[in-house]
Amino acid sequence: MPKGQHYGRTQTRAYTSEYHRIFANTFKNLLTVPFGNYSLNADFLSNEHQKFKLTNLECGVRLMTFTINDKPHKIALIIDKRSASNKLYITCPYCHKQRQSLYAIKYAYGCRQCIGLHYASQSERPNERLMRRIRKLRKELWGYDWPDVNNMFEQVVYWPKPKWMRWKTFEHKRGKITELENKYWPMVDTQMKAMFGHNFMPDC
Ligand SMILES: [Zn+2]
């Protein structure tokens, strides 16, 4: 193999153009409208991806809560006061980072990085590194096509054993992933508290 070239990559990659996106700059009016139930009025989105409840956190941050597949997906509206233009960002329900846009996938909204549309950067935070490791181990066990393989809200403890695998091997591998999942959420919690104060987690 010639130096500097890679062959044999068979993993299929998703491309960002296949997904619909919502953009932070289209939500500016939500900073001043009354709290309550709203809809995005976008035909390309499912009903559940359109309807949300606008609420306020005690720290003053406004929050959109979408109920998708019976689970709450919380997206905060954050104004970056460091920039002169007071640019508006929306937070990813998974990594809670400020983003200019989020992608609509089947049962969620997520940022490009969280839904695996490109390779992780080297400057990722420890919890992102852990998340990537969990997803990698999940894919080794259940495959890339398993519906919730990237969904950190789903815990592998309820996922079925692949037919070909011995129970002992399966329980060992699944136990390892569960152990990492148990480490993951406290890390996310700490990061969220650092970003939003102590008022982010409770429903309000
Ligand atoms: Zn994200």
CB 112 within 8 A of CB 90: no
95 C-alpha to ligand 1 centroid (Å): 4
How far apart CA 141 and CA 150 sit, in angstroms, is 13
Amino acid at 195: M
196 C-alpha to ligand 1 centroid (Å): 16
92 C-alpha to ligand 1 centroid (Å): 5
* pLDDT tens by residue, 108-153: 898 887 776 544 444 567 788 899 999 999 999 999 999 889 888 8
pLDDT at residue 52, rounded to an integer:
96
Which residue has better confidence, 82 or 130? 130
174 C-alpha to ligand 1 centroid (Å): 24
Amino acid at 147: P
How far apart CA 75 and CA 54 sit, in angstroms, is 10
Structure tokens at 135: 């997803």
pTM of this prediction? Answer: 0.53
